[in-house]
């Protein structure tokens, strides 16, 4: 059995003094949370919402995500392949309401556009034509 190493009283005092000051040490938890926040892309799914509900929910999500400090978010609108809204003048039979109206709503909202640098299509893995990325200004 190994003998447990002993620490001198001088080393203990120096360690205690150092841990009380700790001016040159950053919190490991804060560093990890910051890295996760920088790399995480919050997602919000609008499936099942009416146009009015989706606009309100998207606006709230954008404002909260910007205030939290995210650089990019993902809003899932859906592709509209199961949409039953064929008589809506805002869309054609082949396109969904939310897929087209959510980006249009955001672009027309001056409050939101003050926070946004770019709106773009997503990659295939994040929803392709059924979702949008929103990039925030710094």
State how far the Cα of 88 lies from the Cα of 25, in Å rounded to an integer. 60
Interatomic CA distance for residues 54 and 129, integer angstroms: 17
Q: Check residue 8 and report its DSSP letter.
A: -
Q: What rounded mean pLDDT belongs to the chain?
A: 80
**Strand 131-136 and strand 116-121: pairing?**
antiparallel
Tens of pLDDT, residues 24-74: 666 666 655 555 555 678 999 998 888 889 999 999 999 999 999 899 999
Here the tokens at position 20 are 């009380």
Please name which of 57, 49, 73, 48 lies closest in space to residue 105, comparing C-alpha atoms: 57
Query: Are 136 and 117 contacting, i.e. CB atoms less than 8 angstroms apart?
Result: yes
CATH fit for domain 36-136, picks 3.30.1370.110, 3.30.230.10, 3.40.50.300, 1.20.120.530: 3.30.1370.110
pTM given for the model? 0.63
> Cα–Cα distance between 75 and 41 in angstroms, integer?
10
Percent of the chain with pLDDT over 70: 74
- For the cut 60, the answer to whether the pLDDT of residue 90 exceeds it is no
Q: Would you kindly state where each structural domain of the chain is located, as residue ranges? A: 36-136
């Amino acid at each position: 059995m190994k003998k447990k190493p002993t620490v001198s009283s001088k080393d203990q005092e120096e360690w205690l003094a150092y841990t009380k000051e700790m001016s040159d040490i950053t919190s490991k938890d804060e560093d990890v949370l910051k890295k996760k926040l920088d790399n995480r892309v919050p997602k919000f799914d609008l499936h099942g919402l009416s146009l009015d509900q989706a606009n309100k929910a998207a606006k709230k999500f954008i404002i909260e995500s910007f205030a939290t400090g995210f650089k990019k978010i993902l809003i899932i609108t859906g592709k509209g392949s199961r949409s039953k809204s064929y008589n809506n003048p805002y869309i054609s039979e082949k396109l969904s309401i939310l897929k087209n109206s959510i980006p249009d709503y955001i672009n027309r909202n001056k409050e939101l556009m003050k926070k946004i640098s770019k709106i773009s299509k997503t990659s295939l893995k994040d929803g392709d034509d059924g979702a949008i990325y929103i990039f925030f200004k710094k």
